[in-house]
Every structure is written in C-alpha cells, then in structure tokens.
Amino acid sequence: MDSDEEDYVFYGTPIEREEEVTSRKKKAVAEASGQLRTLPSWKQEVRDEEGRRRFHGAFTGGYSAGYFNTVGSKEGWTPQTFVSSRKNRAEVKQQSIFSFLDEDEKSELAGQSLGTSSQFDTFGFTAAEIARKQAEKEQQQRSSAIPGPVPDEIVLPATESIGVKLLLKMGWRRGRSIKDSHANSVYDAKREAHKAFLAFSSDDANAQAADSESIQGDLENYIEQPASGEVISSQGTHVYALNPKQDLHGLGFDPYKNAPEFRERKRSRISDNRDPEYRKALSVKNSLFGFKSGKVAPGFGIGALEELDAEDEDVFASDYDFEETYVQEIDEPSTKSMVDTKRKLITNERGVLLGFRLASNADYQPERFDPPLVPKDFVPNHKFAGPLETDHKVPDTGPPEVSPPEDNNLKLLIDGVATLVARCGKLFEDISREKNQSNPLFSFLLGGNGHDYYVRKLWEARQKRADQKKHQLDGKASPSLPKLTAESRGKILGERPLERSSNDANPSVASSDSIHLQYNLSDTFTKPASFSELPEVVKPFKEDPAKQERFERFLKEKYQGGLRTTQFSGAVNLSEAARARERLDFEAAAEAIEKGTRGKETKTSTQHITEFLTTGGMQFTSGGLEKVEDTHADISMEMYPKREEYQWRPSPMLCKRFDLIDPYMGKPPPAPRMRSKIDTLIFTPDSVTAKNVEETTAENRDSFAIPQIDAQGISKDLSDKEIEVEVAVENVERPVDLYKAIFSDDSDEEEDAIPIVNKVEHPEKKVEAANTALNRLMAGDFLESLGKELGLELPPDPPYSSNKAGASASQKVVNENPGNDKVLHVEAKPPLTTNVSSECPINPAVLHDKEMAQDGRHKKNEPIDGDSAKSRVAEIVSSKNKNDQVNPEKIHQQDRKVKTRQRSSSTTSSSEDERSRRQSRRHRHRGSDSDSDSSSDHRHRSRSRGRRKESSREKSQSSRKHSKHHGHRSVVSPIRSHYGSEKERSESKREKHRRRS
C-alpha cells in the first residue's frame, strides 16, 4: 500500500476525510453544550464554532486574555457584608495620596523622599525610621493588643550605630563593658557577682536604683584598689535586671504611691526573705503563707491550717509591723553585698552556679516518683546495642559448685538461660529478668530458687565460651582438646543420651514422631502447660500391668522427660516389630487421653480410650503394617479439624480497597503473625516481642538468606550449637516437644529412616520430616532474629566450621580438575579451534599442572575462597580456548574479559536457569561465528565488555551464596556450555520435580 502511494504523484489539495471534520465538529458541539463548564477555568480554551483554537491578544501574545479569558481576578468578586455607616461614622479615613497609588508607584514615590542611605546611617536614625514604618505597616495588617499607632519610643533602631559596629569589630561583645583585653579575672568575677546580685536582690525600680547606687559605690571602691587603670564603663552597657512582677496588683498600680515608707518596708522584707541569714527564721512561716510571712490577714480570723504563736495573735494589727526599725536595714545591703560577693567568689571556685551557694540543709524534700509503668502492649522501637560480653574476662575461679535443683524442668531452664546469656551477653539476662518478673519459674534470675545454680551455670557457660574463643584464635584446633560433640555436651548438661541406631530399626516410630511433632507443637501453641496434670488417672492398659507401666513411662517421657530413652527397659524381651507396634499403640492412647482432657470430660474420655483401644488396639496386634497405617490415619482424623486463631494485620491499603476500617489503624508497627510455629512457641508468654521478632525477621530476611544456606552446608557442629541455644530459649515455655523436634530425628538418622519410611508409610511423611528439618533451620534463623530483637549482635559462628566448608569446596575443585582437563582436550580437538591449540604457548598438560599448583596455593592460603579458585581455573581454560591471537599481553587481556563473562554466567542462580540456558545457546551460536571470521570475534569481545558492568555487580554479591552452583557450572567453559546446558536442563527439571513432589 505504502509502496503504491510512493509511485503516484498527487496534485491539488486532498479532500479532507469526513470523519476528521465530523470529529472536530463533534468536539466543538460537545464543548459548547456544557463540557466546558466542567473544566476549571484555567484549562478552558477559547474556540470558535469550528472547534479551532482562537487566537487573541495579539499584542501581549498568547491564547488567553484577561484572567483566564475572563474579566475576573484571582480573588474573584467577593460580596461584602453591609456595614452600617451610622455606627462607623467616626471612622472617617484620612485619604492621602498613598491610598490612590499602586505598589510600584508607591515605591517610585518612596525613592523621591530624602533619607540617609543605610550605608551612611551613622546613628541609626534612618534604620529607626524604616523600622517604625515597618511596624506601622504591620500594625495595620494585624490587630494588636494595643490599638493605635505605635509610640515612637517603643520602636528601636534596627541597626546599630557606627560606634557599636566598630566596637563589635574590635571584639567587643554585647553586655560586656568596654575595657582592656587583659582584664583582671578577679574583677571580672566581682562584676559578675555584682550583676547577679543586682538581678537577684533588686525588686522594684526605685529600690534597685537605691541599691545599685550604694552597691555601685561600694564596688567602685572595691575595684579601684587592684586595677586603677581600667576603664570602667558598665554604664555604657545597660544591665537589664528584670523585675519579675510578684505581687498581685494590677499592672502599673503602685500601692505605695502616697506612702513610700511602706514600699521601703516591703522591699526590705523581701530581701530579708532572700537573705540567707534571715531565711531560717522566716522559712517556717513563709512556707505556709507565702508573702504574708506569718502575719494573718486582718479581720479574717484564723484558718484551720494557720498555726499561730501567742505573739502573732494580734488580730487588729495591720499588715505591716511598724515597730521594727529599718535603720539597720538601710546600710545592711552594702555590707551584706560585700559578704555576699565574697562568698560567691568562693562558691564560684567550687563550681557551684554563680549567685548560688550550696544549701547546708535542704528543706526541700524532692518528691520521689515511681518510674511510669510500661504498658503491656508497648512495642519498643528503639534498640540499644548492648555490649557483647564475649571478650569479657571470665574469672578463673567461679562460684562454688552447686547441686542442681530437684526440678528437672527448672534445671533445664536454668541451663538454657545460662548458655544463652553467655552467648548473648548480660543484656539478655536483664531483659529476660524484666520480662519474667512475675513468672515464678524465673525466680532464679531474681535470686530466688536455684539462683546459686544459675550463677554457677552461667560461669561455666562463659568459661566454655571463652575456651571456645581461645580455641578459635589458635586457628587450628589442637587435637588434645576434644571437640564438643552433641554427646559430650549432653553429658555436661546432664542430658540423657539420644537414641541412635536402635531407633532406625523401628522407623515407623521415628516417622510418627516427626508427624506428632507438628501436632505437639500446635498443641503447645494452643494450650500451654496442659500436660503437667494430665496422665495420672487414666490407665488404659489395666489388664497388662507391665504394659501399663511401659505406657506410663512412655507418657512421662512424652510430656515431661524431654528426651526418649534408648529403649524401653521393660520391653527388652519384646521384638522390634512388637515394640514398634506397642509404641504406636501408646501414641494413639496418649492422643486419645489428651483429647479427652482437652474436652474436659475425663469420664467419657476414659471410655473413649478403652473403646479406642478395643478397636484400634486389636488391630495393632492382629494386623500388619497396612492396618497400622489405617489406624494412624484414624488418629489424625480424630485430631482434625482443628481451629487456631492468630493475629493478622491487613495492610491499610487492603482495608481501603475492601472499604473497611483498618482494625489496626493508629497502632504503629505492623504486626503480622509469626511465620513458624517455633517462633510462636517461644514467644507465647508475650506476644508483643513475638511481633517484633517477626518484624525483624521480615526485615532481615534477605540477610538471613545466606546464613540459612550456610546452615545447610556447614558442619553439624554449628547446628548443634544453635540447637543448644535454641533449647535454652524454648525452655521458657514448654521444653518437651521442641526437644523432641530437635533431638528425635538427627539428620543422619533421618537419612537412614526415610527410605524405609517411603516403603511403609505415607509419602507425605517425608514432607513432614523435611519440615522438621526446615524447622530446625528456622530455629537457627530465629536465634539471629532474637539477637536482633534484643539489639544484640550475635557473636559470629565459629569460623573453623566454615573453614571446613571452604576446604571441602576447594577439595571439590581438585576433584573436578580432571574433568576440566578432559574438556580442554576435547576442545582442542575440533577443527574450529585448531589454530588455538597450535598457537597456544602452553600445552594442556602444563596448564593442568599449573592449575593444580594454583589450587594448592589457594587451598593453603584462603580455603574459603574456593570458588574464586575454581573460577580462575575455568578462566584459564576458557582463555586458552578463546585465544585466537597468541601474544601474551592479549592473553592476559582476554583473560580478564573471559573471566567477567564467566562470572556473569556462573553466578546466576538456579532460578535463572532459563536465562543461562539461553545464554549458553547464544554462546554456541557465537562460537561458530567466531570461527568463521575474526570480525565477529571483535564483536563478541565488545559484547562481553558491555556485560562487564553487570557482572561486576554480581561479583559484589556474596560468592558463597552460589557456591553450590559453582560446583558444576563455573568449571564449564563457555564453549563447552552447550554441552553442559543439556545437563543443566535435565538438572533443573529434576530440581523442579523435586520441588513439586
């Protein structure tokens, strides 16, 4: 179509398309018919009947005239309220020329008037004038308290006189007197004291004048003696001693107008009040009656509170006592001031506030207030970084060994807290003490039951930690020091040993436990401490006392004992299968009992249990494994459905969109509920902190991602350690079930158990087992979040474990080297790279040797940096493959480039499988290109350069995160990668499968 039109030549004007015209007309019509009205005035455009924009205002330019094409103004037309002229007749305004002038005209006019420019305003007259004008203007604009024009004397010049300016430039400061710079410090102090005294003692203006006069004279004498040459100009700078209005008279009212003697009297009395000599005498009276100073108001009788001496009971006496002479008082201030100044000088030296002295006896008893109660739902936002006490010197001689308390739970709790405190620092102890003040279990923190034991334990834990630290500092673990295994630690903590391989024989038990873990956890969540009184009455195996005994032991272990014994001592004679069956039996019975008690109908529950046992139990004994499974399903059926409630915080936006009021409106932090049940478990006592934990975990999820991954790879040592602390935390609420969660299935045990489970049990149980494993990881995760929540920094995990991981990684590199070499050979063969192989200065074998050497070096120096070593190996290989030119500096250069590409492709994680696959495909494509001609090689290089930026960004990401993927990918050279991509694809597929299953 377009090509057709190009061929034609058009003459004349084309006929307008009808739709264009009509649309324009339509628009015009629509606007005319009222659409215009909807637009705000500044958006409206003037258009003609054809809908075209009208241009007007040719001289001023533009499409708009007036005020947005109106004759209005910004203010618009505002109707004024009617004002009666009758009332406001007096307000006849004097019209001046200024009331008829515009702003600019006024400014023009103002320019004509004569005045000193501010530059030459020596005495500040012009500035004062301007300030006055300004004040007048302001006066007009806003109504002030004092109506009328501002009196001139109020308005002070805004600028300084030139003298002041000069003085300021010379270093004079306001409020200082003008004197020599080498001022005597004694004089200074005296002057200060005087000023302070003035401000302190002077009360009303007259008195001040008199006072200051006398004092001034006094002071002058005083000053003259040490430094006669000094220029004293304290008059030059006004000392503004403010007179606070202390009486209750009206402003400006002088009660002593006609009786100045009274004024004198009052002044003296007030100064008496202040005078330390007299204060003692008067304080008693003053304290109660204020300014009356012990005198009762005439004619008002005696109040209940007023205690009067016999001499004071002169009811008819007037306010003021005339008998006292004031002769003494007149000369008093001067002498007193002398004393005062001296004293002040002395006190000044002591560092007491100027003008004050330390009270010998404070008659003011400060009222003590209790600290405010922190509300229960208070969520602390500020976190204080507590000092880590890891470096803290642990005293060698600890507190004496104390026998643990009888209560096993308490003991475990104490152990746990001690470990945690040793790890997290003292702050943790403080916090937990604060939190669990009311909890009787935690009385050991407050010095109650088991405190001694706790102190001992804490010391032990600290020492252990210090040892560990030392141990780490040594670098290599000295072989003499035995590594702290789970068993040895268990021994230290007084735990029962874990059941190990014996458990493998009865996998159903293990798996069922892993299932029960979930239930138990949730049970713990819904009803804490329900099991303590539980299994005392119910005896479902009455007919078989031995079995009943075993059952009771089982119950005890299930709910109280923490860890299971290796085997039922009473059931030695039973076969493995029988034991397993019995175990299941017990589990079922326990479940039933628990259910019964939860329903608070013990009678029916016992019935129910017996009933259950008659049905289910018979099946156990008679039936095979399939039936066991069935009954198990039955059990789970009886557990469900189950309802739990959590707090959930809808986002404000969601509420808005659902048109609902945000239930959490106004409550500051978002409080979503915890992610894992372990979290809830631990923090059930106070949900507030749990919320906080959740928050922090949410915040730090990214940062946790790496440790979490690490945790998978890192040796058991670490996980053990975390579990240990985890146990401690968990003790807070209910120790048993989490213990089970953690200890019942060790990872090695799990691996053994799972295949058999798969055969026998439901496939979902595997998921459950995985869940428990995941939970355990989360426990580690949680611990860090706990640390964050407490504002503590957890001490870093022992580096030797990670070292080990790193070492293993480098080991892997070595393992992969042969494969690498092979690749090299393979790549050397094809005709595409013949020139490479022929011109390359290093033959493969040499290269291989070099690699090995490099590896060895890496292993020695930086074992953690395993993957960098790997990538370097890969880079060497690939560079060799890539080198079309042989000159060595080019090799080096290309090395770098290839490296970057290598990085970019290798650091992509599994989620980016697809991309890498695509990349590899591109590589393949490119590879053929580069062989066919050299120009494409240039292009290729430039491309890689472009990608370098990206790759460097990726480099900055933690290399550890991807260490696993490095394992198989980074070694793959870009040319080989299409071969590798097949593998990758299949791998990713498998991974996906795994995820789905």
Partner 1 sequence: MSSAELPRKEANVLRGHEGAVLAARFNADGNYCLSCGKDRTIRLWNPHRGLHIKTYKSHGREVRDVHVTPDNSKLCSCGGDRQIFYWDVATGRVIRKFRGHDGEVNAVKFNEYSSVVVSAGYDQSLRAWDCRSHSTEPIQIIDSFSDSVMSVCITKTEIIGGSVDGTVRTFDIRIGREIADNLGQPVNCISMSNDGNCILASCLDSKLRLLDR
Q: Whole-angstrom Cα distance, residue 433 to residue 516?
A: 33
Tokens of 345: 């000088």
Between vectors from CA 597 to CA 592 and to CA 598, what angle results, nearest 5°? 95
Of positions 661, 796, 831, 993, contacts partner 1 by CB under 8 A: 661
Task: Please give the DSSP secondary-structure letter assigned to residue 285.
Answer: H
CB environment 396-432: b (16+ within 10 A), e (fewer): eeeeeeeebbeeebbbbbbbbbbbbbbbbbbbbbebb
Of positions 5, 645, 702, 889, contacts partner 1 by CB under 8 A: 645
Q: Please name which of 74, 24, 84 lies closest in space to residue 51, comparing C-alpha atoms.
A: 24
| Binding of residue 653 to partner 1 (CB under 8 A) | yes
| Binding of residue 655 to partner 1 (CB under 8 A) | yes
| Binding of residue 658 to partner 1 (CB under 8 A) | yes
Nearer to partner 1, 397 or 911 (CB): 911
> Minimum Å distance from CB 980 to partner 1?
26
Q: Residue 205: count other Cβ atoms within 10 Å of its Cβ.
A: 10
Of positions 663, 818, 819, 856, contacts partner 1 by CB under 8 A: 663
Q: Whole-angstrom Cα distance, residue 905 to residue 915?
A: 9
Of positions 87, 637, 702, 838, contacts partner 1 by CB under 8 A: 637
Only one of the segments 76-84, 109-117, 243-251, 652-660 lies at the binding site for partner 1 (rule: CB under 8 A); that segment is 652-660
| Binding of residue 644 to partner 1 (CB under 8 A) | yes
- Terminal Cα-to-Cα distance of the chain (whole angstroms): 57
Of positions 657, 829, 850, 989, contacts partner 1 by CB under 8 A: 657
| Binding of residue 142 to partner 1 (CB under 8 A) | no
Nearer to partner 1, 388 or 639 (CB): 639
Q: Site map for partner 1, 54-93, x if CB under 8 A?
A: ----------------------------------------
Of positions 285, 433, 471, 675, contacts partner 1 by CB under 8 A: 675
CA distance to 196, 359, 548, per residue, from 352 (Å): 14, 11, 82
| Binding of residue 771 to partner 1 (CB under 8 A) | yes
Of positions 116, 636, 803, 936, contacts partner 1 by CB under 8 A: 636
Q: Site map for partner 1, 519-538, x if CB under 8 A?
A: ---x----------------
Nearer to partner 1, 186 or 767 (CB): 767
Of positions 648, 815, 829, 991, contacts partner 1 by CB under 8 A: 648
- 8 Å CB contact between 580 and 565: no
Q: Please name which of 256, 284, 267, 282 lies closest in space to residue 329, comparing C-alpha atoms.
A: 267
> Minimum Å distance from CB 768 to partner 1?
11
> Minimum Å distance from CB 641 to partner 1?
5
Nearer to partner 1, 76 or 641 (CB): 641
Q: Quick one: residue 849, left, alpha or beta (phi over 0 = left, psi -120 to 50 = alpha)? A: alpha
Task: Please give the DSSP secondary-structure letter assigned to residue 616.
Answer: I
- Residues in 161-180 at the binding interface with partner 1, rule: CB under 8 A: none
Helix (H) or strand (E) holding 744: none
> Minimum Å distance from CB 705 to partner 1?
13
Nearer to partner 1, 120 or 640 (CB): 640
Beta carbons within 8 Å of 460's beta carbon, 6+ residues apart: 398, 418
Nearer to partner 1, 766 or 940 (CB): 766
DSSP 389-454: -SSSPPPSS-SPP-PPPS-HHHHHHHHHHHHHHHHH-HHHHHHHHHHTSS-GGGGGGGT-TTHHHH
| Binding of residue 322 to partner 1 (CB under 8 A) | no
Of positions 640, 668, 838, 861, contacts partner 1 by CB under 8 A: 640
> Minimum Å distance from CB 683 to partner 1?
16
- Residues in 864-923 at the binding interface with partner 1, rule: CB under 8 A: none
| Binding of residue 649 to partner 1 (CB under 8 A) | yes
Nearer to partner 1, 332 or 912 (CB): 912
Hey, CA dihedral for 856, 858, 863, 867, is it positive or negative?
negative
Give SS3 for 624: coil
Of positions 7, 91, 536, 659, contacts partner 1 by CB under 8 A: 659
> Minimum Å distance from CB 131 to partner 1?
54
Cis check: omega of the bond before 641, within 30 degrees of 0: yes
CB half-sphere exposure, 88, CA atoms < 13 A: 7
Nearer to partner 1, 731 or 771 (CB): 771
| Binding of residue 643 to partner 1 (CB under 8 A) | yes
Only one of the segments 179-187, 298-306, 531-539, 654-662 lies at the binding site for partner 1 (rule: CB under 8 A); that segment is 654-662
Which backbone phi and psi does 53 adopt, to 5 degrees?
A: -75, 130
- 8 Å CB contact between 391 and 470: no
| Binding of residue 660 to partner 1 (CB under 8 A) | yes
Nearer to partner 1, 708 or 817 (CB): 708
| Binding of residue 708 to partner 1 (CB under 8 A) | no
CA distance to 285, 307, 319, 735, per residue, from 314 (Å): 16, 13, 11, 80
CB half-sphere exposure, 833, CA atoms < 13 A: 19
| Binding of residue 184 to partner 1 (CB under 8 A) | no
Which backbone phi and psi does 334 adopt, to 5 degrees?
A: -65, -50
Site residues (vs partner 1, CB under 8 A): 522, 636-637, 639-651, 653-655, 657-661, 663-664, 672-673, 675, 771
